[in-house]
Every structure is written in structure tokens, then in C-alpha cells.
């Protein structure tokens, strides 16, 4: 009987020890959750700092001059296309609607805006990667719009 009581007492102690060590108190759970939140906030702050540093990058002088030259060439090409479209409108025998004329005016306005943005960036030169990406996107959109206008009226 003593043997059974001893075994029963040891099993009870083992079970009680397992239960107490495996259960965390709400305070320790809260501490663990707070530690995870603090770590996540720290990672977020580091990522934000890296993004801010990236945004402040400035183009090198060679990179800027190359970009500016290539952009000015594209803008000149667009201006030549617009002049050709205007000359085409003046030819007798073809009728152009008001939408066509308005689109050409919009193209001219967009070119003026692009030139202004290029000049403004040259003065402050911050956020190079974002500027270059957005500017190239706008240039591509203008080129596509001009191409679409001429394709629509050739058919």
C-alpha cells in the first residue's frame, strides 16, 4: 500500500508541476505580446528610415545630364509631331473635329508641364528615383496618346 501511495503522490506532483509550468499567466502573455509589438514597431521605424534615405537620393551630375538630354530630345520629337498634326489640320480637303483640336492643345499643355517639372527638379534635385520613374511614365503616356490620336484618324 505504501508503494501505491508513493507512486500516486509522485504522479500527482508530476502532473501538478506540468500544469503549473505549462500554463502562462495573463501577465506573462501580455509581456510577450508587448515585446512582439515593440519589435514590430522598431522594424517599421527602420523600414521608414530606409525609405526616407532612398527618397533623398540625388542623381549624379552625369546621370542627370544624360537623363535631361534624352528627355529634351523626346520632348523635341513630340513638339515636331504636334507641329505636323497642326499642319495636317490646315490642309484643305480634310475635316478635323473639335476633339482632335482639343487633344492637340492638351498635348501642348502637357509638354509645357513636363518642361516645367524638368526645370523645377533641376533646381532642387531631391527624390531622384521617384522623380525619374514618374517623369518617364508621364512621357510614355504622352507618346502613347499622341500615337493613338494619329492612328484613329488614319483609318
Residue 4: inside a domain, yes or no? no
pTM score over 0.75: no
CB 74 within 8 A of CB 100: no
Residue 56: inside a domain, yes or no? no
Please tell me the total count of domains within the chain.
1
Cell numbers describing residue 122: 533641376
Residue 103: inside a domain, yes or no? yes
Quick: pLDDT tens for 73-129.
999 999 999 998 888 877 766 667 778 888 999 999 999 999 999 999 988 888 889
With residues binned 3-state (H G I as helix, E B as strand, rest as coil), the percentages for the chain, rounded to 5, are: 85, 0, 15
Domain around 101: 61-154
Amino acid at each position: 500500500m505504501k508503494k501505491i501511495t508513493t507512486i500516486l503522490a509522485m504522479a500527482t506532483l508530476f502532473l501538478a508541476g506540468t500544469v503549473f509550468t505549462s500554463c502562462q499567466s495573463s501577465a506573462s502573455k501580455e509581456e510577450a505580446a508587448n515585446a512582439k509589438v515593440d519589435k514590430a514597431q522598431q522594424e517599421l521605424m527602420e523600414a521608414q528610415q530606409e525609405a526616407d534615405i532612398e527618397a533623398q537620393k540625388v542623381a549624379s551630375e552625369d546621370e542627370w545630364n544624360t537623363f535631361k538630354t534624352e528627355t529634351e530630345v523626346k520632348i523635341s520629337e513630340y513638339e515636331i509631331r504636334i507641329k505636323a498634326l497642326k499642319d495636317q489640320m490646315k490642309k484643305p480637303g480634310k475635316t478635323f473635329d473639335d476633339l482632335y483640336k482639343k487633344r492637340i492643345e492638351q498635348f501642348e499643355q502637357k509638354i509645357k508641364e513636363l518642361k516645367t517639372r524638368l526645370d523645377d527638379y533641376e533646381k532642387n534635385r531631391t527624390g531622384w528615383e521617384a522623380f525619374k520613374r514618374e517623369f518617364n511614365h508621364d512621357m510614355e503616356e504622352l507618346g502613347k496618346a499622341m500615337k493613338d490620336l494619329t492612328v484613329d484618324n488614319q483609318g
